Amino acid sequence: MSRSMPQPEYGIDPGELLAWFDTAERDLPWRRPEVTAWQILVSEFMLQQTPVNRVEPIWLDWIARWPTPSATAAASAADVLRAWGKLGYPRRAKRLHECAAVVAAEHGDVVPADVETLLGLPGVGTYTARAIACFAYRQRVPVVDTNVRRVVARVVHGVAETPARAGDLAEVAALLPEGLAAPRFSAALMELGAIVCTARNPRCGICPLSACRWKSAGYPPASTPARRVQRYAGTDRQVRGRLLDVLRAGTGPVTRAQLDVAWLTDTAQRDRALDSLLTDGLVEQTSTGLFALAGEGDDAGEGRAR
DNA sequence: ATCCGGAAAT
DNA sequence: ATTTCAGGAT
């Protein structure tokens, strides 16, 4: 195209990125070499929309208690929901429990390695399937999360952020180095987005990449007027959280009155939240009309005979 | 396009 | 008080 000047590459130099990662990589427990594919899967479920710092202690307890899919599947849903604690989005815990049952029963207690099969598992979507294929099985597949999307938007496209697009996977695939370096490259790209090329206050002064279109363009701010944020206080989500707090705190079924005190300001909202928890299968009603965490009355995982 | 937690940082 | 955080399901 342009013949006067050599066009700058503005890809992402694997050498620069990987050299930086060698020195800056965080020592996260699920990156240790002895960690199994299942345990990596557990970390990916927990990390969905949740910061690393909050996941770490819960993941450590979790894999010590339930190291395999079959061990997880043998636990009761109630025990799984209690172990999940206040990590948030408890439907993830239920999906993880369901995922464990599928892997144990249909895949010989071994996490599948191919993306297509992974995508069929409960709670495994576009990102998580490829993260497992890449980080657990060392495959050269594109792993696109919010960090990667942001880094590519800035370094390659010169804009502060871009919405998710259908072409994101192909674009990131084209950035991957050939051969065995791809998984580490993907981990490094995510790490760069997490600790240098961050959403709010990027630390461009310590960025290892010498070529960045966003830098060349003078760090233009986001053009789109910040999509409407999902609030939390006063929403059904908060009410659901309060109701689950009550059920997690106890050791068995509770009365409706015990649940009601969790949210007194809007009884219609409280009823709606409880309905949604029942619909999601996170809460169950006993034959005597009490409420309990799903599987609370079952003896699965309790080591008792029927 | 919406819903789904909760905590820490700013 | 707002923003952000290793997304998925509907």
Q: Are A116 and A132 in contact (CB under 8 A)?
A: no
Kindly state the average pLDDT of the residues A261-285. 97
Q: In this predicted structure, what is the pLDDT of residue A297? A: 76
Q: Which residue's structure tokens are 């997880």?
A: A72
* Cα A109 from chain centroid (whole Å): 22
Residues with CB under 7 A from strand C: A 28, 30-31, 43-44, 47-52, 89, 95, 122-129, 131, 145-147, 150, 187, 190-191, 193-194, 198-200, 226, 229-232
Q: Is the pLDDT of residue A176 over 50?
A: yes
pLDDT at A212 over 90: yes
pLDDT tens-digit series, residues A111-137: 999 999 999 999 999 999 999 999 999
We find that the CATH architecture of domain A236-293 is Orthogonal Bundle (1.10)
- Going by C-beta distance under 8 Å and a sequence separation of 6 or more, which residues neighbour residue A252? A292, A296
Q: How far apart are CA A10 and CA A12, in angstroms?
A: 6
The per-residue pLDDT for A228 is 65
The stretch A31-37 carries a mean pLDDT of 97
> What does the pLDDT read at residue A233?
84
Helix (H, G, I), strand (E, B) or coil at A156: coil
Q: Residue type at A302?
A: E
Q: Output the pLDDT for position A300.
A: 44
pLDDT given for residue A11 in this prediction: 87
Distance A237 CA to B3 C1' (A): 9
On chain C, which bases lie within 7 A of the protein's CB atoms?
Answer: 2-9
Give the closest residue to A72 by CA, choosing from A54, A53, A86, A59.
A59
Does residue A194 have a pLDDT over 60? yes
CA-angle at A48, arms to A249 and A124, nearest 5°: 105
Give the confidence band of A240 by pLDDT, cuts at 50, 70, 90: very high
Q: Looking at strand B, which nucleotides approach a protein CB closer than 7 A? A: 3-8, 10
Contact A151, A158 (CB under 8 A): no
Catalytic annotation, residues of A: 44
A9 pLDDT band, cuts 50/70/90, is low
Q: What is the mean pLDDT of residues A162-188?
A: 95
